[in-house]
Structure 1
Amino acid sequence: MPDRAALQVLHRCSGLVLAAFVCVHLVNHALLAVDADSAFAFMDVFRRLYRQPLVETLLLAAVLAQIATGPMLARCRPARAGRAGMLAAASGYYLLFFLLVHVTAVLWGRLGLGLDTDIGFAAAGLRAWPAIAFFVPYYFLAVAAVCVHAGLGIGRLFAVPPRTVAMVSGAAGALAGTAIVGGMLALP
């Protein structure tokens, strides 16, 4: 097993790379709650940056690093981590699931099937029963998990009490998740 400190550095560094993308990506999705045309225009500009081969490779490497390091860190979590550690692990495991499913679906849709994997692709599962029963909580929980997981990591850096971080980041995640899923549901 690699050294815990080295795993933490890799997890944090790859997390920062991924967080930069995810923040802008979630803003893009949240724009749906305001105006779909603005969301699609924003996405067109944003895609020109993140679909550059070097940037896309860096993002995929960050995803793989998160998938590899997250479970190892969760398994060797110190007992003193308490509820915050359990919440970090739970949100991290949900993100592991989400990244595996979401990134695979987007890459397969784009590269394997030649589809435009825009916001409409993401929202397609929200159009019919029974898929909607899976995709509403799938997207909502992903946004909430990102906020909680990142919030706990940032809170630890600034010595903010974990309970405060969990409440604030959980509330932010619930609001953002509601706005994003609501915007996706409103797409024609």
Structure 2
Amino acid sequence: MATAAHAATGNPNANFSMSPEARARLRNREQVRGYYNDMGGNRGNCTYGIGILVHRGPCTAEELRRPLTAAQVEASHAAAVDEAERAVRRNITNQALTQAQFDALVSYTYNTGAYGARHTYGLINRGAMQAAADNISTNISTTVRGRRVVAPGLIERRREESAPFRHTPEGAR
């Protein structure tokens, strides 16, 4: 049975939002802190709060000293989750997702951004769930000083995010 939002928009995922359990997992996966470099030391990209990218490249000394309140961190996290949810709903229109798939894709989008997830979105819209899982799993690197390097923290995260798309019969809901 189609929901009112699905009927109005034609999008089978229009009513989805990230489950409370998945929000808690995402929240617990990301360390809460001020400004930091995501690869440690003076490497990686400037990030703050709960995994929010500030810019590519390391933080400046000024950024590393900049204070953040708990309320600022929580507000930026909530806004980033909402943005990732909207991106998934906007981009996955040809396949009805399960709650586990939606949650995983929001987590992935939260980390990569909608632009970084665009190839995965295309695979899912074509019903190529195994290929989407493989694509998610291989996205484990970041750029450090102009070189692509494996980010060890992404390996387990990508395993979890890709799992709901594995071994799903093509076209199955």
Task: Give the TM-score of the pair, scaled to structure 2.
Answer: 0.30
Larger strand share, 1 or 2: 2
* Higher RCO structure, 1 or 2 (CA under 8 Å, sep 6+): 1
Larger helix share, 1 or 2: 1
